[in-house]
Amino acid sequence: MRRTQRALPTANPQFQHEIVKKWLARTRLCYRSIMSQHPPKTNPAADSAVTLLSHSVDQMSKVEKLKAQSAGLFWVTGKDRHSFASEIDALLRGDVETLSGAAADLSKHFGIYKQQERIDGRKSGAYIFMVRIKCPAGGEISPEQWAALDDACDRFADGTLRLTTRQAIQYHHVTGKTLQPLIEFLNREYRDRGYRLSTLGACGDVNRNTMCSPFDDLDPELPLNSRAIAYGIADELAPKAGASAYRQIFVFDPTSERTVPLEEDEPIYGKHYLPRKFKVGIAHPHDGSVDVLTQDVGLVAVPEAGRADFYDLYAGGGLGVTHNNPSTQQHLGLYLGRIPREQCVAAVRGIAIIQKEHGERKNRRQARLKYTLRRLGVDTVRSMLRERFELELSETTPCPLPPNRFFHGWNRQAGDDLWTLGLAVQSGRLRDTNECQARSAVRSVVEELGLGVRLTGNQDLLLCHVPGTSRARVEEILSAHGVAVEPSLSSRMRRQALACPAKPTCGLAMSDAEHALPQLMSAIEGAGFGDLDVVVRISGCPNSCSRPPSAEIGIIGYGKNDHIIQVGGARDGSRIGKVLYERVPANQLGEVLVGIARSIREHGADMPAGDFLHETPIEQLKSWVGFSD
């Protein structure tokens, strides 16, 4: 069959050559944006992969052994075998400060990250937890659900709700004594609308939050129902035995049995679960804010006559790497073909099973689907999907990728005089301060007017279904709390910037991100460039949770408060940026960003910022910026 894949742009060969030379000479990080749409059909490394089909559990990593021996996430094994519930009980009593290492590895499947506060960059503060809630398709979160979520952050966490780049919600600074009460409260207090908000599966080696354009069914020109697909995927790939253990551990019932697992069978995942995390996103033809090519599996609706009966299927995206390890790479998803709408859930399920069976189980740095897909080869995976999973997968020219949209301010939505108000939330941190009580404002509006809340992939929040006659009242409430409704009251670069939490809570962070972003934006605004239409993203480590590699300006933590700067990502997510600077100290980062912004203003003409930065040679950019690494 004739292949008709669309080739994505690749990095400049001369640039790649120069960077490789630098790495070989100085043993420093080389980021290579390998985006070929035609990977080799075979790979010599395939025979050395440790998979479920080729090796026993004894030959796999410690995490794989823990999962396999957990009986559906119930038991913690290691020096001794004990129930996960027993560790939660010990935390609740105050007998211990935190979870054991083995329990911490399993706890991610329950949406929990063990952390320790960083003091002067060192993990020397109090033991704490981050708890994440899955919110398929970003909501819609009902007023009752929002009230419970809002109450929980005061009762059990640090008084903030953090909206993530994957349309989820995080609670930070949760203590050992409040961990179980928080999860129990959430499960009991918010109303189930058919796709329960849950911390279960929000982290861990399973399908995590399934993203979808928040404006999918609200678009007045093309209202679709891709959200139903997102809910179907979330339900299909939710842990089943893990759900049983979750209820036994966290949702206390005096009559329940907590000493033995009630269920051990995972119908899709099996006892091993997936080799690594698994992420899915669905884009609307008018909105690519889910950054679909950075997902393990991406779906793009194909519009025809006001509906979408088919979806373009991509797989193998992922931006995380390990510094100084060139075998880890930033990858964009590869186009697999077009499938009927009714097979979207089955397609994601099939790809998850392929990853379960063929994914690397010893070296977790090679365990993501992006490596499995390239090791097996695209044609092999296509054949599996057609023959084993009976997908009607047609190879055709994919639709253009939609642009990343920000829904700041008032947007007309589908329906009779209905509106959506998009609120920019810096770094997704919804909080109350003396100057701006943003969290209280949202609570007041939602409760008084009965509005739905949706979360975006850009860490923002949408208030939905506002009648035209109520717009003035919404603005009145927000204004009384110090919340600006008019987007122009904040600079465009600040509104469009993303940051992960990083230090002092994230155990993987090498540098600041959320804490650094306000000062960086102030430096850009002070230089007069805040109005530029540029997307800046910063992460504290190379896991790139805030997706800096696909941004127009991306900043990635390296070492103790140094940063890599990549530039030239595309607004539709079809291109990974090139490395402009390999190391920029934190105290010079603002200066460099101002220099890049000045270059865009003075030399970018009418080009999109990402295109200008991509096409301009590295040395030319550096001369304009005025900083040499």
Asked whether residue 372 falls in the same domain as residue 254, the answer is: yes
In a domain, 303, yes or no: yes
In a domain, 42, yes or no: no
Asked whether residue 116 falls in the same domain as residue 155, the answer is: yes
- What type of residue is 336? L
The total number of structural domains in the chain stands at 3
| Structural domain that includes position 472 | 409-490
Choose the final residue of a domain: 337, 356, 387: 387
Residue 48, pLDDT above cutoff 50: yes
Residues 164/134, Cβ–Cβ less than 8 Å: no
Closest to 110 in 3D by CA, of 210, 236, 231, 245: 245
Asked whether residue 486 falls in the same domain as residue 513, the answer is: no
In a domain, 4, yes or no: no
Asked whether residue 113 falls in the same domain as residue 261, the answer is: yes
Mean pLDDT, the chain, whole residue set: 91
* b/e per residue 134-168 (b: at least 16 CB within 10 A): bbbbbbbbbbebbbbbbebbeebbeebbbbbbbbb
Asked whether residue 377 falls in the same domain as residue 430, the answer is: no
Q: Tell me which of 121-125, 303-307, 429-433, 436-440 is least confident.
A: 121-125
* Averaged pLDDT for residues 258-273: 90
What is the rounded CA–CA span in Å between residue 617 and residue 333? 26
What is the rounded CA–CA span in Å between residue 25 and residue 18? 11
Choose the final residue of a domain: 437, 469, 490: 490
Residue 336, pLDDT above cutoff 50: yes
Q: What pairs with residue 132 in β-bridges? A: 170
User: Which has more pLDDT, 355 or 259?
Assistant: 355
Asked whether residue 331 falls in the same domain as residue 471, the answer is: no
pLDDT in tens, 407-429: 999 999 999 999 999 999 999 99
Residue 456, pLDDT above cutoff 60: yes
What is the rounded CA–CA span in Å between residue 430 and residue 433? 10
In a domain, 40, yes or no: no
Q: What pairs with residue 98 in β-bridges? A: none
Tokens of 402: 């939609």
pLDDT band at 255 (very low <50, low <70, confident <90, very high): low
Tokens of 177: 């004594």
End-to-end alpha carbon distance in the chain: 49
> Secondary structure of 522-591 in the HEC alphabet?
HHHHHCCCCCCCCCEEEECCCCCCCCHHHCCEEEEEECCCEEEEEECCCCCCCCCCEEEEEEEEHHHHHH
Asked whether residue 458 falls in the same domain as residue 563, the answer is: no
- Phi first, then psi, for residue 53 (nearest 5°) are -85, -15
- CA torsion angle for 460, 466, 469, 473 (degrees, to 10)? -50
Taking the CA atoms of 407, 409, 412 and 415 in sequence, report the sign of the dihedral they define: positive
The domain that contains 464 carries what CATH number? 3.90.480.10
Asked whether residue 182 falls in the same domain as residue 267, the answer is: yes
Greatest extent of the chain over all pairs of C-alpha atoms, in Å = 71
Task: Give CA separation, 299 vs 11, 61, 223, 343, in Å.
Answer: 25, 32, 16, 11
Closest to 580 in 3D by CA, of 35, 31, 27: 31
The domain that contains 339 carries what CATH number? 3.30.413.10
Asked whether residue 233 falls in the same domain as residue 296, the answer is: yes
Query: How wide is the angle at C-alpha 322 spanned by C-alphas 626 and 541, nearest 5°?
Result: 60
Q: Which residues does 91 contact at the CB level (< 8 Å), separation at least 6?
A: 98, 99, 176, 177, 179, 180
* b/e per residue 363-392 (b: at least 16 CB within 10 A): ebebbbbbbbbbbbbbebbbebbeeebebe
What integer pLDDT is reported at residue 10 of this predicted model? 39
What is the rounded CA–CA span in Å between residue 292 and residue 518? 27
What integer pLDDT is reported at residue 197 of this predicted model? 83
User: Which has more pLDDT, 11 or 562?
Assistant: 562
Residue matched to tokens 């690749």: 10
Burial class (CB in 10 A: 0-12, 13-18, 19+), 230: buried
pLDDT band at 577 (very low <50, low <70, confident <90, very high): very high
Asked whether residue 165 falls in the same domain as residue 178, the answer is: yes
Residue 46, pLDDT above cutoff 80: no
pLDDT band at 487 (very low <50, low <70, confident <90, very high): confident
In a domain, 2, yes or no: no
What integer pLDDT is reported at residue 18 of this predicted model? 44
In a domain, 3, yes or no: no
Residue 307, pLDDT above cutoff 80: yes
pLDDT band at 189 (very low <50, low <70, confident <90, very high): confident
Determine the 3-state secondary structure of 241 from DSSP: helix
Asked whether residue 98 falls in the same domain as residue 57, the answer is: yes
Choose the final residue of a domain: 455, 490, 525: 490
Asked whether residue 515 falls in the same domain as residue 484, the answer is: no
What integer pLDDT is reported at residue 2 of this predicted model? 36
